[in-house]
Amino acid sequence: MGFFDFLFGNKTRKIEDFRNRGAVIVDVRSKGEYESGAIPGSKNIPLQNISSKMGEIKSWDKPVITCCASGMRSASAAGILRTNGVEAMNGGGWFSLSQKL
């Protein structure tokens, strides 16, 4: 286990585990940001809409990997989802996450 794995956990391994269990990738950037480039197959739910879409997200009955531009909004979104009983992780910036998939 490397130093950063020790500090932050092995994100790549966790992403792989989530994906193996059918995780949905939720991109929490604005519609305009999402349309300028995104992970194929991801769902665009802007951060400010996460709470109002909670019923829909829960109905998927799947783990969720959140992403945004840098990882800040996706961290907030993952926290909101976990607080509401959804298994979620912050995937960080969408482009970086796409390289791990």
pLDDT tens column, 31-83: 999 999 999 999 999 999 999 999 999 999 999 999 999 999 999 999 999 99
Q: Are 7 and 47 in contact (CB under 8 A)?
A: no
Q: How many residues does this entry show for the chain? A: 101
Q: Check residue 9 and give its pLDDT.
A: 55
From the list 61, 95, 92, the residue with the least C-alpha distance to 77 is: 92
Q: Are 91 and 67 in contact (CB under 8 A)?
A: yes
pTM attached to this predicted model = 0.90
| Residue 2: pLDDT band with limits 50, 70, 90 | very low
CATH number of 3-100: 3.40.250.10
**Which residues face 44 on adjacent strands?**
27
